[in-house]
Structure 1
Amino acid sequence: MNTPADPFLDPLATPFNDPGLPQGSRLRVGAGAGRSNQLAERYALRIQQGLAAPGSRLPSVRECARQHGVSPSTVVAAYDQLQARGLVEARSQRGFFVRAPRRTEEGSAPRALAQRSPPVDATALIRGMFATASDRPGPGSGLLPPDWLDATLLQRALRRACSQADVGLRYGEPAGDPDLRQQLSQRLADLGIDAAPRQIVTTTGATHALDIIARAWLQPGDAVLIDEPGWAVEFARLSALGMRLLPVPRGPLGPDLAAMAQLAALHRPKLYVTVSVLHNPTGCSLPLAAAHQVLRLAEAHDFAIVEDDTYAWFAPNHAPRLAALDGLRRTIYVSGFSKILAPNWRVGYLAAPEAWVDRLIDTKMISSLTTPALTEQAVAWCLEQGLLRRHAERVQDRLDTARSGTMRLAEQAGCRPVTPPRGLFGWIDTGLDTDRLAELLLDEGWLLAPGSLFLAVRRPSPFMRINFATSQDPRFWRAFEAARIALQR
């Protein structure tokens, strides 16, 4: 093993107080642990937390030395430590790569590293969403900032629900709270979707609804059409259930219909899972003509459609929904309230053809028995009183202002929009490998959502998803420009 060099003595080292270095990338001068140990621990923690996927390449020795302001020999010593711990492997003439998790004597991966490649990508961003160490907003976050939410409304709704004499003292109805399902039936009517309360099943968030549908409809090995780019959590969940993913390229005008038709003819998929309105990550909505063609393909090839309308409260009611055009014949509609009310209010729902409902309720009961009546009654009251609608209108107005300001900052930083800015998210072209960009900015406390996160098979991408509500801080864009210069050297 090479001996760590002192950067103040090594002529190849960059001084630790070099003002050109991003602040979070510098190691600590005079720290108890040697600089090679500090660097090794930084990368080890990132690998163990799933923020660096198996097979991903570490920066070259000289690039890492430049990023962190140390000598190349210090980097070599750190990489040697990581290799000795089984976290990375050296490949001749190619560099150092993150190793797949080691197997224990029982034949399973250690708990902290027991992730397959698709879930690694998905859970990396989720872990960042849950992290509280940084006080900086996360440009890659999928949530509204806390100060955009109406805490007073939530408190009033909970007090109202708690005033009911028997609330929470017994299991709720398997299909969900009757008052909420009645309100949801009216909400769907406003979107042009005719769904009686008996066609609606409440869930613990929209993600739970998607999981119920997959478990009720699919068997391991079944083929599922998905949008690409699309949401990594859905890729990871379907992969974990043993499904074969069929990525359909998604652009500003919707899915590539020719590719969808070809995939459907070859693989006979059971489902197509899509976000038709304010698609994540591009922000695009499905044009009416494309929606009609998607339904024709579903009819011709006999697959069902799962329409994830998670961002419905950021979109106009008249936006074309597949479930409205289809009349809930072969479409299952999914939505929820976590994005607009509060992340921890895990209230979601699905609306399905009446003949399919019992099957979905049975699957719900097996997975969770029932859903919490307290929060469901609180949401029902917010809908009934019109308070949620008014809150959503205020958020939309605020988001319109944030969107224009964020895009101005992004364009000044050298980025350009890939798709027209709409809704909560922007899909922008940075001109860089955004995996490397995300790694560098993570050191400074900025959570990014690189383009590779939204691909069914991970590969480098210059695209990045930004949250308009959490990307307005000029400090981030200054850090972005500094990181871009560092990567271009």
Structure 2
Amino acid sequence: MSEIVQDGTLVSQVMASIRDRISARNLLAGDKLPSIRSCARQMGVSNSTVVEAYDRLVADGTIQSRRGSGFYVSGHTAPLSIARIGPKLDRAVDPFWVSRQSLDARPDMLKPGCGWLPADWMPETSIRRALRTLARASDDVLVEYGTPLGLAPLRQLLSRRLAGHGIVTDPDQILLTESGTQAIDMLCRFLIEPGDTVLVDDPCYFNFCALLRAHRANIISVPFTPTGPDIDTFARVVSDHKPRLYITNSGIHNPTGASLSPQTAHRILNIADQHDLIIIEDDIFADFETTPAPRLAALGGMDRVIHIGSFSKTLSASLRCGYIASRSDWIDQLIDLKVATGFSGSNLAPELIHLVLKDGTYRKHMDGLRTRLSHAMTGTAKQLASLGIRPVITPDPGIFLWCALPDGIDAAQTARNALANGVVLAPGNVFSISQSAGNLMRFNVAQCQHPKIFKVLERAMRP
């Protein structure tokens, strides 16, 4: 009987563990596997279990045996499986599932869990006007590569906008990218090696972690509070683990909606100086603010703070354009990396964004949008309160409410139930490295305007 249990369960567990390490690229083609005794000791199984598992992996071609030497990973490196890197989550509600369900949603599905505004909240008239103007542009704008740094007039405009937040940067210290996500990806390629430790907030935007896993970083987290990271824990974690990077939102935080306080910002910068910590400051929600929060790049300069942003939240997600603002020597090296990985950028999206941003209607659009979001925040909070769902904090600006469900309600199960009724939700643990947000959920107030959402949510929370 014990042999059946061994063959049916323990052997399979050993095989799955080896395959997971190969999928996560912790083991590459040609790498030697642990010895039979070492593997048995690590996994708490018998030597005979490991022998059987290795034999089966040899039989299916996953590994190969070299007489007198040991066992080695076969053939070519397996395609990278990001979902299998790091702690296992129920795939039904992991970050990739939230993103895929939101992006692939049928027109009749409702998406209070997504991270962007509804299409009819965007400045469609200004975009159409800019498209008509761009159609009359010169041939080089329409068909040529852009320069590696990106469109100069847009970089000049961005330099002036950043100055409004106290961030002093020359236009040549700004590199345009295809998106905010590409900006972080480039910076990870540039700054970290596999195995480097990177610090994030807990909770944080889930795609930070997805990107870091793709770069095989060691991710650690620090609890996030209404005024920023818990600073005493932040200091201890940085001292103990010596992370290479810290990635955060300093304006409107995703998913909590909180804003960094000046006191916390100064302490973060002091700790970063003491421990040679580089900070990536994602400011994608800047234009939603009613009262500007302190920027780390303004308080600490560009020596160790890199400031990034994009236009997908306030203009159009179809206009893929972001930017990196950093010190000059790093920008010069990032240009080489951009050429190596993407050759150059598009002219069309930066030209169109520049036309819209310099149009006086953009300021009016944002004024109206902030007012509309304020009403949506109040209305959504009231509707959620009627279901016993309460904000952890009540943010002034932005699009997110980070809420606690009633006691005993599991957010992941609620999300599964809601999906079956055409509603995509964002349960808390997809944002949490520590998996400590099982009773929390992020709501996009702009996407919560349909009454069906709250009826589905009420049913989805029932046991």
Q: Which runs of 4+ in 1 moved over 6 A?
A: 108-114
Deviation at 1:316, TM superposition (A): 3.5
- Residues 1:433 and 2:439 aligned together: no
Q: For 1:446-461, what aligned pairs fall within 5 Å after superposition?
A: 446-458=423-435, 461=438
* CA contact 1:433–1:460 (8 Å) conserved in 2: no
* CA contact 2:250–2:293 (8 Å) conserved in 1: no
* CA contact 2:415–2:424 (8 Å) conserved in 1: yes
Cα RMSD, aligned residues only: 2.2
Deviation at 1:168, TM superposition (A): 3.1
Alpha-carbon separation, structure 1, partners of 2:241 and 2:395: 34
Partner residue in 1 for 2:442: 465
In the alignment, which of 89, 110, 123 is matched to residue 96 of structure 2?
123
Partner residue in 2 for 1:358: 332
Partner residue in 1 for 2:376: 402
In the alignment, which of 393, 408, 412 is matched to residue 419 of structure 1?
393
Distance 1:460 1:148, change over 3 A: closer
Deviation at 1:204, TM superposition (A): 0.8
Partner residue in 2 for 1:342: 316
In the alignment, which of 348, 358, 361 is matched to residue 384 of structure 1?
358
In the alignment, which of 263, 269, 283 is matched to residue 257 of structure 2?
283
* CA contact 2:82–2:210 (8 Å) conserved in 1: no
Alpha-carbon separation, structure 2, partners of 1:171 and 1:434: 46
In the alignment, which of 123, 137, 140 is matched to residue 113 of structure 2?
140
TM-score normalized with structure 2 length: 0.79
The size of the alignment, in residue pairs, is 384
* CA contact 2:290–2:370 (8 Å) conserved in 1: no
Partner residue in 2 for 1:163: 136
DSSP-derived class of the 1:115 partner: helix
Listed as ranges, the gaps of 5+ residues in structure 2 are 1-56, 63-75
* CA contact 1:161–1:375 (8 Å) conserved in 2: no
Cα deviation per residue 1:3-33 (whole Å; 9 max; x = unaligned)? xxxxxxxxxxxxxxxxxxxxxxxxxxxxxxx
Listed as ranges, the gaps of 5+ residues in structure 1 are 1-102
- Residues 1:274 and 2:248 aligned together: yes
DSSP-derived class of the 1:342 partner: coil
Deviation at 1:394, TM superposition (A): 1.5
Deviation at 1:158, TM superposition (A): 2.1
* CA contact 1:274–1:306 (8 Å) conserved in 2: yes
Distance 1:305 1:460, change over 3 A: closer
Deviation at 1:350, TM superposition (A): 1.0
In the alignment, which of 179, 190, 193 is matched to residue 205 of structure 1?
179
Alpha-carbon separation, structure 2, partners of 1:471 and 1:309: 24
Cα deviation per residue 1:96-153 (whole Å; 9 max; x = unaligned)? xxxxxxx995649998987326695221111112123251321101110111112221
Alpha-carbon separation, structure 1, partners of 2:321 and 2:188: 18
TM-score normalized with structure 1 length: 0.75
Distance 1:444 1:281, change over 3 A: same
Deviation at 1:317, TM superposition (A): 6.3
Alpha-carbon separation, structure 2, partners of 1:466 and 1:173: 39
In the alignment, which of 299, 306, 309 is matched to residue 273 of structure 2?
299
Cα deviation per residue 1:291-342 (whole Å; 9 max; x = unaligned)? 0100001001011110001111111363211111112221100110001111
Alpha-carbon separation, structure 2, partners of 1:153 and 1:129: 26
Alpha-carbon separation, structure 1, partners of 2:80 and 2:455: 34
Distance 1:245 1:403, change over 3 A: same
Deviation at 1:159, TM superposition (A): 2.3
DSSP-derived class of the 2:83 partner: coil
Alpha-carbon separation, structure 1, partners of 2:459 and 2:243: 46
Distance 1:417 1:148, change over 3 A: same
Alpha-carbon separation, structure 2, partners of 1:394 and 1:105: 61
Distance 1:376 1:276, change over 3 A: same
Deviation at 1:162, TM superposition (A): 3.0
Partner residue in 2 for 1:226: 200
Distance 1:385 1:317, change over 3 A: farther
Partner residue in 2 for 1:56: none
Could you tell me which amino acid in structure 1 is paired with residue 440 of structure 2?
F
In the alignment, which of 301, 311, 336 is matched to residue 285 of structure 2?
311
Alpha-carbon separation, structure 1, partners of 2:166 and 2:82: 44
In the alignment, which of 145, 150, 155 is matched to residue 181 of structure 1?
155
Q: For 1:28-39, what aligned pairs fall within 5 Å after superposition?
A: none
Deviation at 1:474, TM superposition (A): 2.1
